[in-house]
Chain A
Amino acid sequence: MKDLADHIFDILENSVTSEATEVKVILGLRNKRFSCRIKDNGRGIKNEDVTDPFVTSRKERKVGLGLSLLKKTAENTNGFLRISRLEGNGTFLEFETDISHIDAKPFGDLAKVFVDAMRSWPDVDFEVLIKKEKSQNEPVLNTKEIRDVMDCADIQHKEIQDFVYQSIDKELKKIGINTQFGEF
């Protein structure tokens, strides 16, 4: 995993694979700490340590590296990864990383992650917000709203894709996410 964007796309893929239809992402950056919370309504994890590389639900191989790699990425920078099963169905995942740490991974292109997610899974509802300390979280993307205007699969068209990308990227850059190492 080259950057945080890769990690986040990987978690979204986990959500979709577990048959989630709604995925909510809250991103934050405060005191050089980047936080990411992802909640889905998928099947949920079993009671086992999913960050163990030898625990996986896939059938092709006996190893599952996604979450163990993310755990390492977070913990290498005095951060953490927490995963819990939500009551009923669904999973809540939270990780934090110190982006000023010498071992920190760059953000990568986070706006692209959500554009790619829309293109890959046009039927899944994605909601992305930016965490605010004193006011309500700032909405960045809500595919439920977008569906009033277009089909999410329309994101295949370059012009539409660029427009959605720009509007997400602009919001993320406002708080310093999505510039390579964050702004200090």
Chain B
Amino acid sequence: MKNLEELRQIRYKVKKNLQMRSGKHKVRIVVCMATCGIAAGARQTMNTLSDLIGKSDRDDVVITTSGCAGFCEQEPMIQIYIEDKEPVAYGKVDSKAAEEIFKKHILNGRIVERYLFSKGK
């Protein structure tokens, strides 16, 4: 990359802002991204979630990916890990579902039964 210096400055600015708030990640969203997930639209789901995090002004939420969970017919699937709570898995999460889950579950702690796949490990 040609503009590493610029990147360094942006990072410096972001980190400085972060130090003022508490920068620990409390919520982890895992999007299943094997062939089955991708074919079902998981990349779109991930982009929607990423945009929502950007707009929500929350910096304690991270997105990562995982492989095939073995329930390909339920794809796109996501799992939500909130600190001190049981993990929750959702199935058939398209962009619209992702938005609903983000607003209700991640921002307000209410599980969205409609897309619920499983609770606990």
Contacts and interface: CB of A to CB of B under 8 A. Distances in A.
A158 interface: yes
B14 A167 contact: no
A139 B3 CA distance: 12
Decide if the interface of chain B is mainly helix, strand, loop or mixed. helix
B39 interface: yes
A78 interface: no
Contact of A164 (B7, B33, B41): B7
A10 B7 CA distance: 28
Given A17-B67, A154-B14, A167-B3, A6 B53 contact: no
Interface in A107-121: 112-113, 116, 119-121
Interface residues of B, number: 35
Contacts of A60: 68-70, 72
Decide if the interface of chain A is mainly helix, strand, loop or mixed. helix
Contact of B8 (A9, A150, A158): A150
A154 B11 CA distance: 8
Most buried by B among A60, A66, A112: A60
A142 interface: yes
Given A60-B68, A116-B46, A160-B14, A13 B4 contact: no
A157 to B, nearest CB: 5
B30 to A, nearest CB: 10
B7 A112 contact: no
Interface of A: 1-2, 5-6, 9-10, 13, 17, 58, 60-61, 64-66, 69, 112-113, 116, 119-121, 139-142, 145-146, 148-150, 153-154, 156-161, 163-164, 167
